[in-house]
Structure 1
């Protein structure tokens, strides 16, 4: 199956429009598993569903038009990035709606406003800290993205990035410490 996906990816890169649909058809079960893992491991929210996350990711892939992935591993790393952006954008949209969107706000001295759900706040905090981390430590950011937003296990990340599992484990620990520092600072 890995060879089939790699062949489809190559056809997409060559401009074959049918290959784009075939690629997502062939990868759909794996994409659902990736989305399910992400939603189970901290991204669960009433506005997210596995199917909706996969479909929105597919639509963003279509809009982007350019696939830079060269093989199955790179494709799923890319998919985890797209899923991250879908989740972050949905959380931001919901925060904006809670604050009234474009409605003019007036200040009241009361405790009527409800704080954002902890999961949503965490997603946005991690996203912002991850952007800062990516500027100085891109591989660490990629490991975090694949694990936190993509739901990958250490062994899957190691395979996708062509690293040893121990290296991924060390990168994850270092990235966690850096992210905590960035989120508290």
Structure 2
């Protein structure tokens, strides 16, 4: 059993020091995942790589949910958590922009309404992924790992226990279904 796998097992059993050591050991890879997801993103929330990785860590600690497995499984799970953090940040930003609990006043905003807000794209993708999950949960995992996590086909295949060819087919199928859902 490798060092990462051993740390994963210990962290899953509730050993906080093992989770801390795991994050320390995988921190450069997690930053790479976060950077890939946020690179050149004008669609996402105002969030930096470090913030995304730290929010991912805090969410894992708070939930205590950590599937034992290998490095690829952990990175796949981290990609899923990063997606969740990004979607939560977009929703919070939209709530704040709309005034939170303040009374809303309708104004003539035809021009503003005709231009879609970049954050809507993330929420639309999240809704489309939820719909896709009802059809085929593995397709969602492939999208999360590739789009939100920046994992390569080999890493995704290892995490899911399938061949790279299956990952490519799943990616193509998911893209078609998501494109259809996002157009409609």
TM-score, normalising length: structure 1: 0.90
Is 1:142 aligned to residue 141 of structure 2?
yes
1:111 Cα deviation after fit: 4.2
Give the match for residue 171 of structure 1.
170
Compared CA separation, residues 165 and 113, structure 1 to 2 (3 A): same
Is 1:21 aligned to residue 25 of structure 2?
no
Aligned-residue Cα RMSD (Å) equals 2.0
In 2, Cα distance between the equivalents of 1:116 and 1:102?
23
Q: What do the CA deviations read for 1:21-70 (whole angstroms, capped 9, x no partner)?
A: 11111111111111111112747646111000000000001101131232
1:113 Cα deviation after fit: 4.6
1:14 Cα deviation after fit: 2.3
Give the match for residue 55 of structure 2.
56
- Counterparts of 1:25-174 in structure 2 under 5 Å? 25-40=24-39, 42=41, 45=44, 47-111=46-110, 113=112, 117-118=117-118, 120-174=119-173
Compared CA separation, residues 91 and 110, structure 1 to 2 (3 A): closer
In 2, Cα distance between the equivalents of 1:85 and 1:163?
24
TM-score, normalising length: structure 2: 0.90
Which ranges of structure 1 fall in alignment gaps of 5 or more residues?
Answer: none
In 2, Cα distance between the equivalents of 1:182 and 1:167?
22
In 2, Cα distance between the equivalents of 1:103 and 1:116?
23
* Number of equivalences: 183
1:184 Cα deviation after fit: 2.3
In 1, Cα distance between the equivalents of 2:65 and 2:173?
32
In 2, Cα distance between the equivalents of 1:116 and 1:154?
32
Which contiguous aligned blocks of 4+ residues in structure 1 show a shift greater than 3 angstroms?
Answer: 41-46, 110-117
Contact 1:41 1:148 in 2 (8 A): no
Contact 1:41 1:151 in 2 (8 A): no
